[in-house]
Amino acid sequence: RIINGELGGNYYFFVNSPRFMNKMITNCHLTDDNCRVIYSDSNETKLRIKRGKPSDAPKKINFITSCAFEGCDFYDENGKIVIVSDSSRSNTLVDISTQFLQIAGRIRNSKYRGHIVHVLSTTRYSNKSSYEDFKKMMEENIQEEKLLIEDLENMKVLDHKIQLAAKADLKFYQIDKEAKTITADFNRCKIDLYNYRILNSDYSSMTHLRKQYEKNNIKIESWTFNTANPELIPMDDITCFAD
């Protein structure tokens, strides 16, 4: 609808995921003529649209990752901001009290300044369990993985052990297929617990989200609930091009 001119203005999608950007570019048939992508120079991901800069001319659709959430200014009188919180990627779920407010001021001269669209869905943390229940469940998961690794250690053939560990989709162990090593990474547990605290407060329900908006002086103009799932972007992985 944006490309066809049904929706006026230039849209700036702030989403911290080149993978998400790649899905949109592919499935919506976007080109260098109508789309700009801005993500970190240190990210080796190669998209179908060349990497842009904040100083480049605006396009109808502009995708921007966290490299420009803070400190980068955009100038576009017709710029409209859309913040995308993709529930399948926890790194895209912006903190309302910090990143959200930073993004809100990125387009300096827009006539739509102050009007933000926040597109979001519930997360895997969205349940009725308490933080302590979630922590207990995680500790049980860690113990299950420990027992699995102990069983694998008894295998004589190293290649088979690595293959089985890789297939197990372990959360708290890193598998290095080249070095043929299995290393515990319990920092992931701390990160997951931190995410639970943040996401269970902000994104688990509209009530919690509303409280966060109000706490940070963000006025809610309207809610739009879409539960019909009319036309979803295919969820199959689309491989990004690498150098």
pLDDT along the chain (243 residues), means of 10: 92 91 92 95 88 95 91 94 79 78 91 90 60 83 89 87 84 86 85 73 74 88 67 41 32
pLDDT at 226: 65
pTM over 0.85: no
pLDDT at 201: 62
pLDDT at 235: 39
* Three-class secondary structure of residue 39 per DSSP: coil
Any idea what the Cα angle at residue 44 is, between residues 42 and 48, rounded to 5°? Answer: 125
* Three-class secondary structure of residue 167 per DSSP: helix
pLDDT at 15: 92
